[in-house]
């Protein structure tokens, strides 16, 4: 089988067999196919798409291109969660201990961030002493003992995805539903969970800007799960404004502690309760989503979820006192309120621009391997629909390079639109996708 023949087939709208896709991925992973030919193949997929069966075969081939995690020795149904990403999306830090406190084992591999802020691993590294790299036996042992462990994603897991993603990034083939879906699902399948919950973000701060594209992506990933035997469900959530108030690594850990303690009421808590209730249902711990929601609500309000987070931090070598004393985490040298220049209602927030501002302040990466400032970020002081007066704070900046505040302040003023007309707050949950298709809420 020659790679040029596969490129030709896909160029001419023919479907590839499972065997052809397995061979393609194996050859590319082992450097038997040059980048320029794989780039041609990816462009053919970008232009002509893939069937569900092809996408599932591609996903499995990438998942099996390296090490896979065997979680069968851990009692119970393991449910993994993946978010397509957004600004102030602190859900993993809250959901993992919350769902674990409800009796569902959470064995999660997470990554570092590229873009707006750090990833889950960067955020956890804000906690002094916290170990984000666990040996396989430690990872499994912690889940058995504490129902929860989070470790950095190994380069041995789905290495084909890493190579292909890097190539997509420089060949204008990122925005392909089959390629996005197979990239996400290959890592979830390799990570070994029995069932998968997907949080697909929609809006100005999300990769998927409109509902139609988000539904297509969600349906593709759910179908992949069905074909490969992993029960998968997707919840579509809004990213028309930052999900939480905190944007930045240590700031987001502090906000997660507030949610877990039961003292925080807002969109971040609500999304975590909804996602978590679906995870409990998938795991068979709750009869339905409503029952799961009530269980999780009690775990937050009674502080039980926070105790699980404290236990988790201690189990991975971190200073567990941070849950009572968040100031034990690194602190920014500078902090400044950015005030409104107008009076009126917040009409719109350019979420992507706000995320970029956090990167300017040092909270995110512009390229892989770049060091980030774990103390830097933004604390939002307004939401869409709020009435704001002149000179009232829109946000508070944190960082160690005060020289960056001037440019960031100008961009923030541009990103928050204030007008005279009262507006309705965006809907938070847009719908869900399961094996029966899309249900709009």
Other C-beta atoms lying within 10 Å of the C-beta of residue 271: 24
Catalytic residue among 80, 89, 122, 161: 161
Give, as one character, the DSSP assignment of residue 333: S
Asked if 279 and 81 touch (Cβ cutoff 8 Å), the reply is: yes
Give me the DSSP letters along 234-302.
EEEEE-SS-SSSEESHHHHHHHHHHHHTT---SHHHHHHHHHHHHHHHHTTSSSSHHHHHHHHHHHHHT
Instruction: Give yes or no: 82 in active site.
Output: yes
Catalytic residue among 81, 112, 168, 308: 168
d(CA 281, CA 287): 6
Instruction: Give yes or no: 131 in active site.
Output: no
Residues in contact with 232: Cβ distance below 8 Å, sequence separation at least 6, in sequence order: 185, 195, 196, 197, 198, 221, 222, 224, 225, 226
Catalytic residue among 65, 126, 182, 183: 183
Instruction: Give yes or no: 223 in active site.
Output: no
Two tokens at 298?
A: 């009690």
Catalytic residue among 82, 108, 254, 308: 82
Asked if 261 and 270 touch (Cβ cutoff 8 Å), the reply is: no
Residue with tokens 């119970």: 76
Catalytic residue among 112, 187, 195, 365: 187
Instruction: Give yes or no: 187 in active site.
Output: yes
Two tokens at 82?
A: 């993946």
Instruction: Give yes or no: 183 in active site.
Output: yes
Active site residues: 82, 161, 168, 183, 187
């Amino acid at each position: 089988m020659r790679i040029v023949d596969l490129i030709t087939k896909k160029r001419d709208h023919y479907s590839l067999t499972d065997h052809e896709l397995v061979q393609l991925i194996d050859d590319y992973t082992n450097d038997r196919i040059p980048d320029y030919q794989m780039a041609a193949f990816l462009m053919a997929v970008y232009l002509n798409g893939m069937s569900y069966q092809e996408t599932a075969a591609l996903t499995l081939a990438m998942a099996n291109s390296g090490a896979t995690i065997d979680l069968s020795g851990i009692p119970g149904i393991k449910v993994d969660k993946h978010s397509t990403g957004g600004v102030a999306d602190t859900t993993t830090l809250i959901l993992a201990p919350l769902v674990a406190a409800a009796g569902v084992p959470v064995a999660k591999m997470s990554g570092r961030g590229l873009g707006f802020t750090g990833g889950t691993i960067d955020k956890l590294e804000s906690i002094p002493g916290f170990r984000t790299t666990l040996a396989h036996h430690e990872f499994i042992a912690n889940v058995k003992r504490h129902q929860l462990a989070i470790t950095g994603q190994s380069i041995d897991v789905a290495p084909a995805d890493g190579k292909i993603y890097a190539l997509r990034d420089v060949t204008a083939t990122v925005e392909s539903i089959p390629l996005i879906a197979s990239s996400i699902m290959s890592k979830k399948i390799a990570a070994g969970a029995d069932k998968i919950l997907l949080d697909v973000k929609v809006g100005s701060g999300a990769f998927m800007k409109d509902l139609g594209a988000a539904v297509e992506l969600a349906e593709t990933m759910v179908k992949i799960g069905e074909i490969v035997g992993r029960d998968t469900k997707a919840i579509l959530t809004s990213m028309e404004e930052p999900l939480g108030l905190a944007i930045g690594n240590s700031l987001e850990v502090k906000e997660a502690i507030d949610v877990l303690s039961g003292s925080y009421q807002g969109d971040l808590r609500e999304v975590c309760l909804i996602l978590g209730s679906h995870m409990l249902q998938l795991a068979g711990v709750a009869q339905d989503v409503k029952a799961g929601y009530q269980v999780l609500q009690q775990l937050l309000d009674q502080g039980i979820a926070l105790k699980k987070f404290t236990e988790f931090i201690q189990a991975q070598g971190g200073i567990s006192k941070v849950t009572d004393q968040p100031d034990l985490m690194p602190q920014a040298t500078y902090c400044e309120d950015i005030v409104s220049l107008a009076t009126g209602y917040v009409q719109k927030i350019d979420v992507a621009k706000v995320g970029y501002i956090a990167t300017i302040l040092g909270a995110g990466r512009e390229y892989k391997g770049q060091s980030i400032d774990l103390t830097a970020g933004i604390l939002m002081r307004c939401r869409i629909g709020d009435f704001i007066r002149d000179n009232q704070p829109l946000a508070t900046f944190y960082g160690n390079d005060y020289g960056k505040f001037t440019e960031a302040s100008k961009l923030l003023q541009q990103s928050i639109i204030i007008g005279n007309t009262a507006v309705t707050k965006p809907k938070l949950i847009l719908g869900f996708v399961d094996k029966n298709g899309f249900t709009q809420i």
